[in-house]
Chain A
Amino acid sequence: MTAVLPERRTAYDVERIRRDFPILHRTIRGKTLVYLDNAATTQKPQAVIDRLVKYYSEENSNVHRGVHYLSEIATAAYEAARTTVKKFIHARDEKEIVFTRGTTEGINLVVSSWGRHNVGEGDEILITAIEHHSNIVPWQLLCEEKNAKLRIAPVNDSGEVILEEFEKLLTKRTRIVAFGHASNALGTINPARKMIAMAHANGSIVLIDGAQGVPHLEVDVQDLDCDFYAFSGHKVYGPTGIGVLYGKQALLDAMPPYQGGGDMILSVSFEKTTYNALPYKFEAGTPDIAGVIGLASALDYVSALGLKNIAAHEHDLLEYATARLEEIRGLRIIGTAAEKASVISFTLEGVHPHDIGTILDQEGIAVRTGHHCAQPLMMRFNVPATGRASFGLYNTREEADALIAGLHKVNEVFHG
Chain B
Amino acid sequence: MSSDLRELYQQVILDHNRTPRNFKELPGATKKVEGYNPLCGDHYTVFVELDGDVIKDISFTGNGCAISKSSASVMTSTVKGKRTDDAERMFEIFHKLVTGEPAGLSEAELGRLAAFSGVSEFPARVKCATLAWHTLHSALQGEQEVVTTE
Contact = CB atoms under 8 A, between A and B. Distances in A.
Interface stretch (A123-131, A138-146, A348-356): A348-356
B9 A413 contact: yes
A303 interface: no
A13 interface: no
B41 A371 contact: yes
Interface stretch (B59-67, B86-94, B105-113): B59-67
Interface in B104-147: 122, 124-125, 128
Given A358-B122, A370-B41, A414 B65 contact: no
Interface string A338-362: 0000000000001111110011001
B61 to A, nearest CB: 13
Interface string A35-51: 00000000000000000
B5 A355 contact: no
A384 B122 contact: no
A362 B66 contact: no
A409 interface: yes
Contact of B5 (A352, A375, A413): A413
B66 A352 contact: yes
Contacts of A369: 40
Interface string A375-386: 100100000110
A412 interface: yes
Contact of A355 (B4, B39, B43, B65): B65
B3 to A, nearest CB: 10
B8 interface: yes
A378 B41 contact: yes
A362 B43 CA distance: 25
Interface in B1-43: 1-2, 4-5, 8-9, 14, 18, 39-43
Interface residues of A, number: 21
A385 B128 CA distance: 14
Given A355-B67, A414-B66, A385 B2 contact: no
A338 to B, nearest CB: 28
Contacts of A375: 41
A385 B40 contact: yes
Interface residues of B, number: 23
Nearest to B69: A352
A29 B2 CA distance: 10
A374 B56 CA distance: 40
B1 A352 contact: no
Contact of A384 (B63, B67, B125, B128): B63
A222 B63 CA distance: 46
B4 A354 contact: no
Contacts of A29: 2
Contacts of B125: 354, 358
Nearest to A409: B1
B40 A370 contact: yes
Contact of A362 (B5, B63, B65): B5
A358 B67 CA distance: 11
B81 to A, nearest CB: 29
Contacts of B42: 354
Contacts of A378: 41
Nearest to A416: B14
Contacts of B64: 352, 354, 384
A362 B41 contact: no
Question: Max chain A CB contacts within 10 Å: which of B41, B42, B128?
Answer: B41
Contacts of B39: 370
Contacts of B40: 353-354, 369-370, 385
23 contacts: A29-B2, A351-B66, A352-B64, A352-B66, A352-B69, A353-B40, A354-B64, A354-B125, A355-B9, A355-B66, A358-B5, A358-B125, A359-B5, A359-B9, A362-B2, A371-B41, A384-B41, A384-B63, A384-B64, A409-B1, A412-B1, A413-B1, A414-B14
Given A350-B18, A378-B41, A409-B1, 8 more contacts: A352-B66, A353-B65, A354-B125, A355-B66, A358-B8, A358-B122, A371-B41, A413-B1
